[in-house]
Amino acid sequence: MNEFYYIIPFIILAAGILISLVIEMYFTSSEKILPWFSILTFLASGFSALFLVNNVKVVFENMLMSGGNVNFFIFIFNLGAALVTLLSIDYIKKYHTYYGEYYILLMSSVLGMSLMAGAKDLIVIFMGLEIMSVCFYALAGINRNKLKANEASLKYFLLGSFATGFLVYGMALVYGSMQNTSLEYLFLNFTKFNTNILFLAGLLFILFGLSFKIAAFPFHMWVPDVYQGSATTVSALMSTGGKAAAFSAIIVSFASVLTVVNTNVFAPYFGAIAVFSMLFGSIVAIAQTDIKRMMAYSSIAHAGYMTIGLASGNSYGVSGIIFYLAAYTFMNIGAFGIISIVEGKNDTNLTIKSYAGLANKKPILAGLLAIIMFSLAGLPPFAGFFGKYYIFIAAVKAKLTWLAIVGVISSAISVYFYIRIIVLMYFKESEEDFVIENSNTGLLSVIIAVLFVILLGIAPNSVINLISYFAK
Amino acid sequence: MIEQYIPVFIVIIVAVIFAVATVVMSKLMGPQRPNSEKESTYESGLKPIGTTNERVSIKYYLVAMLFIVFDLEVIFVYPWAVQFKKLYSQIGISIFFSMLVFLVVLELGFLYVYKKGGFKWD
Amino acid sequence: MTIPIEYYLILSGFMFLTGVVGVLTRRNAIVVFMSIELMLNSADLTFVAFSSYLGNSIGQVFVFFVMTVAAAEAAVGLAIIIAVFRNKKTVNIDEINILKW
């Protein structure tokens, strides 16, 4: 029974989901209650995870892990989702489409992400991934009268479940070759199965399935369409929480190759998808005119940077990825938050040109967006710089200097399209005349995200020490 | 080991021959005098109306979807019920409550669908 | 005597391949979705075959979860396809192209 103490974050989240179902059923004014209730649940779950961070323990017959990195991930997911919920309050009013399910699905997807982060067994990874993905399929099309949203959710659903098919088949092959689905067992006996073709094929299939969720190069086709078509706030969560959860699943299931003990047999694969994702994302993003599509391609590029950490396969890489994910979560939620505030009714003001002259109209928004764009471009002293810095250091330590160099080149390319927006905001006159509605909750959420970006940029050592302390 | 399947193959072959032979023989041997009455669609003696490709109402899909979801949960209950005595002696009463929690969550979902009008038929 | 494990694996491999080819070549969203289900079922078959071959029940437990997830996915997926059909009056994925692929 004591085991339940260690999974309090999960229990709070699950109880919150059930209670909000009841609220949605019986209260006619659930539109006012539910967002605040879900923020409360996210914060309770997140801070209880932070409170329990020292209790590292594997519970429920080697199924779930609690404490350490896992709780750090859960904290990030919950904080990110709380910020997204704050953004959604005013965003949903813009489209006059309130569905109570929106917040319930948001909470369920965070539960799925938390399960993925804490997984110690292939079953738990699969369940977590599917809880998250099914919620995202529905969330992408939550605006069901909008054709673009329908199309985005159909594409996401078809391609996402295609990837799930690969994942499950890979898990079946891994189970068949090692007679077990425990990740602990995989970690300890990796060298024993190292030469088994069935086993390696299974792991590769699992990797295909997860690469899809992190939006890495050969499996990126859905990213621009889905980010563009679905609601901006949903894209914010998909690009941060979904990516972070998939990375945490890769880290736990490939922990055996990410230590110095074993040689990283997947290093060529990781290296290849890192190079292609970075270059492809950065170069294609330049050509975009729609800001959400641009952010989508930048998200592909960022997946590439993080994959460098996997290719380097040491503990520096792992803690670098976790830091990067934390930084990226706040940067992207901030960026999508500002996009959702600037966005007008019926998908207007979504082109890059809409941002011309923003500094005159809304100086605060422009300043916040400038900080986020500097951070995304990887300029010091913001969080994005240190994220890339730790990843590149890990690559150099793993004697993959060429990968770090490609990463630097790609970030240099990406500076162009991030800075272009800043130039537009400050040095160009507005061509279209439109009014940006005020959104106090949205602005609050963006400010919190930017504060975290600055905090992680100014004091990265405290965070990285904390992470590497648990990464052991 | 392939020999063990010989009876199955024989059955398949006989079935195919029988099916093909009946159709072909009736075509060859029976008298054929078609007219417009015979060629028309059989609708219990009434005049046929509209196309046969009627679009099925969306309500059936709704009910079918709900059925799939709630029907499949029972696969978790069956193994639990079969092993209940053994597990009860090993773990104790908590094995009962764990399934109770599962069913409460499931019923909450059911209640949600009911309250939202998922079962309304008009 | 029992059927050797290879036969099951070959069958499930073929099922999986059929599913993949179906997803890549068919243009009707429902058929694509059925092909995906075929892929999941081939994984189920592999699990059950390994489970009985290895004599442990983890695979069967996994299959329960895969089946449940497939059902949930089917429900959400059909709902999405219906939503698309209501607005667009088609489920051909070549015609659903406002967003660039």
SS3 readout for chain A: CCHHHHCHHHHHHHHHHHHHHHHHHHCCCHHHHHHHHHHHHHHHHHHHHHHCCCCCEEECCCCEEECCHHHHHHHHHHHHHHHHHHHHHHHHHHHCCCCCHHHHHHHHHHHHHHHHHHECEHHHHHHHHHHHHHHHHHHHCCCCCCHHHHHHHHHHHHHHHHHHHHHHHHHHHHHHHHCCCEHHHHHHCHHHHCCCHHHHHHHHHHHHHHHHHHCCHHHCCHHHHHHHHCCHHHHHHHHHHHHHHHHHHHHHHCCCCCCCCCCCCCHHHHHHHHHHHHHHHHHHHHCCCEHHHHHHHHHHHHHHHHHHHHHHCCHHHHHHHHHHHHHHHHHHHHHHHHHHHHCCHHHCCCEHHHHCCHHHHCHHHHHHHHHHHHHHHCCCCCHHHHHHHHHHHHHHHCCCHHHHHHHHHHHHHHHHHHHHHHHHHHHCCCCCCCCCCCCHHHHHHHHHHHHHHHHHHHCHHHHHHHHHHHHC
Residue of A141, A155, A165 with shortest CB distance to C36 = A165
**pTM score:** 0.90
**Average pLDDT of A54-74?**
87
Report the residue of chain B nearest C66, measured CA to CA: B72
Does A158 contact chain C (CB < 8 Å)? yes
Of A279-283, A291-295, A393-397, B52-56, minimum mean pLDDT range: B52-56
Residue of C1, C67, C79 with shortest CB distance to B65 = C79
Band (pLDDT 50/70/90 cuts) for residue A461 is confident
Mutation pick from A97, A139, A156, A157 vs chain C, by most beta carbons of C within 10 Å, is A157
Pick A467 or A131 by higher pLDDT.
Answer: A131
What is the distance in angstroms between the Cα of A60 and the nearest Cα belonging to chain C? 15
Chains meeting B at 3+ CB pairs closer than 8 A?
A: A, C
Instruction: Please write the tens of the pLDDT for every residue from B91-101.
Output: 888 899 989 99
**Average pLDDT of A219-238?**
91
Q: Rounded CA gap, A223 and A210, in Å?
A: 14
Q: Which residues of A touch B94 (CB under 8 A)?
A: 1
Band (pLDDT 50/70/90 cuts) for residue A472 is low
Of A67-71, A120-124, A286-290, minimum mean pLDDT range: A67-71
- Domain ranges (residues) in chain A: 261-472
Does residue C101 carry a pLDDT above 60? no
Report the residue of chain A nearest C100, measured CA to CA: A225
Residue of C64, C72, C82 with shortest CB distance to B75 = C64
Band (pLDDT 50/70/90 cuts) for residue A247 is very high
- Domain ranges (residues) in chain C: 5-88
**Average pLDDT of C9-36?**
92
What is the distance in angstroms between the Cα of B115 and the nearest Cα belonging to chain A? 6
Does residue A458 carry a pLDDT above 80? yes
Does A24 contact chain B (CB < 8 Å)? yes
Structure token digits, residue A286? 């330049």
Of A67-71, A464-468, C12-16, C65-69, minimum mean pLDDT range: A464-468
Does residue C73 carry a pLDDT above 80? yes
pLDDT at A436: 80
Instruction: Please write the tens of the pLDDT for every residue from A76-109.
Output: 999 999 999 999 988 888 887 778 889 999 999 9
Instruction: Please write the tens of the pLDDT for every residue from B45-78.
Output: 777 777 777 777 777 888 888 888 888 888 889 9
pLDDT at A471: 56
CA dihedral A64, A65, A69, A75 (to 10 degrees): 60
Instruction: Please write the tens of the pLDDT for every residue from B9-54.
Output: 999 999 999 999 999 998 888 888 888 777 777 777 777 777 777 7
Instruction: Please write the tens of the pLDDT for every residue from A156-194.
Output: 999 999 999 999 999 999 999 988 888 888 888 888 887
Query: Does residue A380 have a cis bond before it (omega within 30 degrees)?
Result: no
Structure token digits, residue C96? 């659903």
Q: Which residues of B touch A1 (CB under 8 A)?
A: 94
Structure token digits, residue B95? 């094995």
Band (pLDDT 50/70/90 cuts) for residue A262 is low
Question: What is the value of ipTM here, to two decimals?
Answer: 0.95
Number of B/C CB contacts below 8 angstroms equals: 27
Note whether C73 contacts A171, CB cutoff 8 Å: no
pLDDT at A67: 81
Residues in chain A: 472
Residue type, A238: M
Does B105 contact chain A (CB < 8 Å)? yes
φ, ψ of residue A336 to 5 degrees: the values are: -65, -30
Does C101 contact chain A (CB < 8 Å)? yes
Note whether C64 contacts B76, CB cutoff 8 Å: yes
pLDDT at C1: 59
Give the CATH number of domain C5-88: 1.10.287.3510
Note whether C1 contacts B65, CB cutoff 8 Å: no
Q: What is the overall mean pLDDT for chain A? A: 88
Instruction: Please write the tens of the pLDDT for every residue from A391-428.
Output: 999 999 888 889 999 999 999 999 999 999 999 888 88
Note whether C99 contacts A147, CB cutoff 8 Å: no
Q: What is the overall mean pLDDT for chain C? A: 89
Q: Which residues of A touch C44 (CB under 8 A)?
A: 172
Residues C68 and A193 sit within 8 Å (Cβ to Cβ): no
Q: Which residues of C touch B1 (CB under 8 A)?
A: 1
CA atoms within 13 A on the CB side of A156: 34
Pick A134 or B59 by higher pLDDT.
Answer: A134
Report the residue of chain A nearest B107, measured CA to CA: A18
Note whether C42 contacts A169, CB cutoff 8 Å: yes
Q: Which residues of C touch A172 (CB under 8 A)?
A: 12, 43-44, 46-47, 50, 59, 62
Band (pLDDT 50/70/90 cuts) for residue A261 is low
Instruction: Please write the tens of the pLDDT for every residue from A329-352.
Output: 999 999 999 999 988 887 788 888
